[in-house]
Chain A
Amino acid sequence: MGKKMSDTAVNNMGTQAQKLAAENNPLITADGIPLKQKLAKTTRKMKMRALLLTMPLVLFIIVSFVIPIGQMLHRGFYNPAVSNVMPNFSIAIKDWDETTGEMPSDEILKVFVEDLALARKNREVGKTVGNMATRINYELPGSRSLFTKTARRADKITEGPYLDELIAIDKKWDNHNLWRTVKRASNDYTISFFLAALDLKYDENGEISRADPLYQIYVPILMKTLMLSALITFLCFLIAYPVSYLLSTLPLRTSNLLMILVLLPFWTSLLVRTSAWIAMLQTEGIINDIMVYLGIIGDDGRIQMIYNQTGTVISMVHILLPFMILPLYSVMKTIPPSYMRAAKSMGATNSYAFRKVYFPQTIPGIAAGTLLVFILAIGYYITPALVGGSDGIFISNLIADHIRKTLNWSLGSALAAILLVVVLIFYWMYNRLVGVDKLKFG
């Protein structure tokens, strides 16, 4: 033993001496070229090869992943709807100091009226007054018609004072907060959408404050998404742990067969699986029928198990279960039964041996499984949309709504960006708690 130790010590000293020598006068190959240069030359070809082999994937990721996500994040901050329609005004309004409490000057309002009239006259696709009005309406609900109405009459206004002329069209123009909102919206870059996504807004004094309770929807839904995802992850863990344990201890032939049953849902269309749950869970569905038949519940007391949170949780646990079982199984498979036997031979009871010896060794698998399921669940869309009703929807359903229905892409992007940040925060916390290097997927 002692001999072996001293041997390695000698070796270490040897390599250290070599390093020292290398620093003082670099090693040279037989033909006089420094060794490092020669080595770099011989490995260059291999490096080029590696680069070429990964190039298609790198390009694919840049085109399909990095650029879209960058665009999405950008769109959350960037909305040029006002400056597109009224390019001159959006520059002119910058000169107005809204903090003084005075209304914008006549010159600025002149540009406003001219731009409005011009925009109405030569409307282009995507650059109509309506677009601009919608943008401002996001921040000041109810103001849309004011702009479209004024735009129709803008060419009638020929001379000042412009503010009075505008007020003559609609009394609402006599409002300091309106003009402040217009100024804010005419800036291409804005945090308004992020504020909206976090249920915040600018109040009448231009300060950031919480939205009215009635309009607070995104934060509660985000919280609900996190809570339900945590619940789904926990249920998946509870179900998957014993199953994985069984799979890992069975002989290979049996475990392969059972593994196919576990993976079967993977190979079935997501829509089919979700629809199957609708058939199972609905009030006239199989489970309710059976319970009525068995007399557990009365025919009039059928339980609502779908189109609410229960439905979302049940079907998502089913859909995400393989993502928990696979990492757990692959980790458990590597734990030989001799560990438990060793613990028992040393006097540990079954439960003690499990807690102190088996369970700690499965933590990398649990970590991988829970992280995978949790992150997949947070961003899940189809299943909550189909079986969630109005109560069991997730934040991604709102994002989809904004992208596809209300066409408020900026708000959708802001929500998506917040979701991304939340996921990253969880990943970071996870790294601190478990250590990402300990994750084991197989």
Chain B
Amino acid sequence: MQGAEKNNMAVNKSATDTSYVRFENVQKSYDGEVLVVKDLNLDIQKGEFVTMLGPSGSGKSTCLMMLAGFEPATHGEIFLDDRPINTVPPHKRGIGMVFQNYALFPHMTVAENLAFPLEVRGMSRSDQEDRVKKILDLVELPQMAGRRPAQLSGGQQQRVAVARALVFEPDLVLMDEPLGALDKQLREQMQYEIKHIHENLGVTVVYVTHDQTEALTMSDRVAVFEDGVIQQLSSPESLYESPQNSFVAQFIGENNKLNGVVEKVSKGICQVRTDDGTLLHAEKVNVEGVGDKTTLSLRPERIELDPPKGTKNVVKGRVEELIYLGDHIRVRMNVAGNSEFIVKVRNRADKRPLKEGQDAKIGWLAEDCKALDYVGQL
């Protein structure tokens, strides 16, 4: 949690007057006993694509519902364009929203669904038709205007739902796991389409998902939620490259963990003695100093087989299992007492093949290994 607090402070510092959406010390409880959202501070710039990522029950959807106005904040204030909106009812917030199951009105045609927000705003019939036509072209469904939602495929319904959230040209669009019901291939395609729509229209998007690939693909910034707290808020790249704590390292991408104790710190690099006595070098990220217990985090693709001389960390491991995946081979090894240690070996013709039970020499750079908060027994 240390990292998380540090992070929240960092977010506070970066709060500027230009932020479009701002959560200030927002807390939420449903039953008066458990805080679902604990002291949330978040700034979203205009035109940004921010994803709230986290396991179910981490409070991310609740945050979205509070922003949309369907749930009141128990404490704190939410600002939209520097206006406090806690007391503004949802229909006056002017926020577009895409729901998990699309919530397309089954008794209306696609065109009627799309015209709904325009009708509410008292727009003339001809203007409505123009807008509906334009937005249907944008989502590439011009021939579907007369259909009912039930007559559309999942992907088409998804597009209509996005179109309906955009048709009244809101500045802010919220999406609550909108791709959850689609199959993998369609989901990937829709990710790109939503990303492109965002780029073309320049709307601010707040997106909620539990799928890390989705978050990394689409977002400008990702807020990783856990236990009602933002663990890290940063770009997809730095989220993966420099996780601020063990939870983020574990949640985003694949990750090897090794436990140890810090023996020495110099120039941002600490020497860590693992439980079985191996001495490793790692970048100091989330440990206090000498004598601290730490969990080292290491990406499988950063580990090299038969490392060149001068590599900071070189250890021996025993190959436990080989899984052939075409472009690479997943090697499960027993390294420094951890038998779940994964190494991704590129599939190359010039390398001699590994065998199960064999000992192999592996190595990695100190910068690729992060010393993070201790998570306990592996």
Binding site for B on A (CB under 8 A): 1, 4, 336, 338-339, 341-350, 352-353, 356-357, 360-361
A347-B100 in contact given A356-B116, A361-B107 (Cβ < 8 Å): no
Nearest residue, chain B, Cβ from A364: B107
Q: Evaluate contact between B103 and A336: CB separation under 8 angstroms.
A: yes
Q: Does B105 contact A (CB under 8 A)?
A: yes
Residues of A with C-beta under 8 A to B101: 336, 338
Q: Shortest distance in angstroms between B116's beta carbon and chain A's nearest beta carbon?
A: 6
Name the segment of B38-46, B90-98, B312-320 touching the other chain.
B90-98
Q: Evaluate contact between A344 and B103: CB separation under 8 angstroms.
A: no
Candidates B68, B94, B99, B153; contact of A347 at CB < 8 Å: B94
Q: Evaluate contact between A345 and B100: CB separation under 8 angstroms.
A: no
Q: Evaluate contact between A348 and B91: CB separation under 8 angstroms.
A: yes
Most buried by A among B107, B140, B168: B107
Q: Evaluate contact between B120 and A346: CB separation under 8 angstroms.
A: yes
Nearest residue, chain B, Cβ from A349: B91
Complex alpha-carbon distance, A436 and B224, angstroms: 51
Most buried by B among A339, A346, A350: A346
In the complex, given contacts A342-B103, A345-B96, what are 14 additional A-B residue pairs having Cβ atoms less than 8 angstroms apart?
Answer: A1-B141, A336-B101, A338-B99, A338-B100, A338-B101, A345-B165, A346-B96, A346-B120, A346-B168, A347-B92, A347-B121, A347-B168, A348-B116, A352-B120
Interface of A is mostly: helix
Residues of A with C-beta under 8 A to B253: none
Complex alpha-carbon distance, A346 and B108, angstroms: 15
Q: Evaluate contact between B120 and A345: CB separation under 8 angstroms.
A: no
A357-B91 in contact given A338-B99, A346-B164 (Cβ < 8 Å): no
> Can you list 26 residue pairs at the A/B interface with Cβ under 8 Å?
A1-B141, A336-B101, A338-B100, A338-B101, A339-B103, A341-B70, A341-B99, A342-B99, A342-B103, A343-B116, A344-B70, A344-B90, A344-B91, A345-B91, A345-B95, A345-B165, A345-B174, A346-B168, A347-B91, A347-B92, A347-B121, A347-B168, A348-B116, A349-B91, A356-B116, A361-B106
Complex alpha-carbon distance, A339 and B100, angstroms: 11
Q: Shortest distance in angstroms between B210's beta carbon and chain A's nearest beta carbon?
A: 18
Complex alpha-carbon distance, A344 and B91, angstroms: 5
Residues of A with C-beta under 8 A to B164: 342, 346
Contact with A along B58-102 (1 / 0, CB 8 A): 000000000011100000000000000000011111111101110
Complex alpha-carbon distance, A341 and B164, angstroms: 13
Q: Does B117 contact A (CB under 8 A)?
A: yes
Residues of A with C-beta under 8 A to B106: 361
Residues of B with C-beta under 8 A to A338: 99-101, 103
Candidates B93, B105, B107, B140; contact of A1 at CB < 8 Å: B140
Nearest residue, chain B, Cβ from A345: B97
Nearest residue, chain A, Cβ from B174: A345
Complex alpha-carbon distance, A252 and B97, angstroms: 27
A348-B99 in contact given A1-B140, A341-B70, A361-B106 (Cβ < 8 Å): no
Complex alpha-carbon distance, A339 and B165, angstroms: 13
Interface of B is mostly: loop
Residues of A with C-beta under 8 A to B140: 1
Nearest residue, chain B, Cβ from A352: B120
Residues of A with C-beta under 8 A to B70: 341, 344
Residues of A with C-beta under 8 A to B95: 345
Residues of A with C-beta under 8 A to B153: 4
Q: Evaluate contact between B116 and A341: CB separation under 8 angstroms.
A: no
Residues of B with C-beta under 8 A to A1: 140-141, 155
Complex alpha-carbon distance, A361 and B68, angstroms: 24
Residues of B with C-beta under 8 A to A345: 68, 90-91, 93, 95-97, 165, 174
Q: Which 8 A-B pairs have the closest CB atoms?
A: A346-B117, A342-B103, A345-B97, A338-B103, A344-B90, A347-B120, A338-B99, A344-B91
Complex alpha-carbon distance, A296 and B69, angstroms: 46
Complex alpha-carbon distance, A4 and B152, angstroms: 12
Q: Shortest distance in angstroms between B176's beta carbon and chain A's nearest beta carbon?
A: 9
Complex alpha-carbon distance, A4 and B101, angstroms: 22
Contact with A along B104-125 (1 / 0, CB 8 A): 0111000000001100110000
A341-B120 in contact given A346-B168, A360-B107 (Cβ < 8 Å): no
Complex alpha-carbon distance, A341 and B68, angstroms: 9
Q: Shortest distance in angstroms between B357's beta carbon and chain A's nearest beta carbon?
A: 48
Q: Evaluate contact between A357 and B105: CB separation under 8 angstroms.
A: yes
Nearest residue, chain A, Cβ from B105: A357
Candidates B91, B97, B105; contact of A339 at CB < 8 Å: B105
Q: Shortest distance in angstroms between A337's beta carbon and chain B's nearest beta carbon?
A: 9
Q: Shortest distance in angstroms between B172's beta carbon and chain A's nearest beta carbon?
A: 11
Residues of A with C-beta under 8 A to B96: 345-346
Q: Shortest distance in angstroms between A194's beta carbon and chain B's nearest beta carbon?
A: 43
Nearest residue, chain B, Cβ from A356: B116
Complex alpha-carbon distance, A352 and B92, angstroms: 13
Complex alpha-carbon distance, A345 and B117, angstroms: 9
Contacts of B225-273 to chain A: CB distance below 8 A: none
Complex alpha-carbon distance, A353 and B116, angstroms: 10
Candidates A4, A339, A341, A356; contact of B90 at CB < 8 Å: A341
Complex alpha-carbon distance, A22 and B35, angstroms: 67
Residues of A with C-beta under 8 A to B99: 338, 341-342
Complex alpha-carbon distance, A345 and B100, angstroms: 14
Q: Shortest distance in angstroms between B186's beta carbon and chain A's nearest beta carbon?
A: 10
Nearest residue, chain B, Cβ from A2: B140
Q: Evaluate contact between B103 and A348: CB separation under 8 angstroms.
A: no
Nearest residue, chain A, Cβ from B176: A338
Complex alpha-carbon distance, A4 and B141, angstroms: 13
Most buried by B among A342, A345, A347: A345
Most buried by B among A1, A336, A350, A360: A1
Residues of A with C-beta under 8 A to B97: 341-342, 345
Q: Shortest distance in angstroms between B90's beta carbon and chain A's nearest beta carbon?
A: 4
Residues of A with C-beta under 8 A to B141: 1
Q: Shortest distance in angstroms between A437's beta carbon and chain B's nearest beta carbon?
A: 14
Q: Shortest distance in angstroms between A386's beta carbon and chain B's nearest beta carbon?
A: 43
Residues of B with C-beta under 8 A to A336: 101, 103
Most buried by A among B91, B94, B106, B164: B91
Q: Shortest distance in angstroms between A306's beta carbon and chain B's nearest beta carbon?
A: 43
Complex alpha-carbon distance, A352 and B90, angstroms: 13
Residues of B with C-beta under 8 A to A343: 105, 116
Residues of B with C-beta under 8 A to A348: 91, 116-117, 120
Complex alpha-carbon distance, A356 and B91, angstroms: 15
Complex alpha-carbon distance, A348 and B105, angstroms: 14
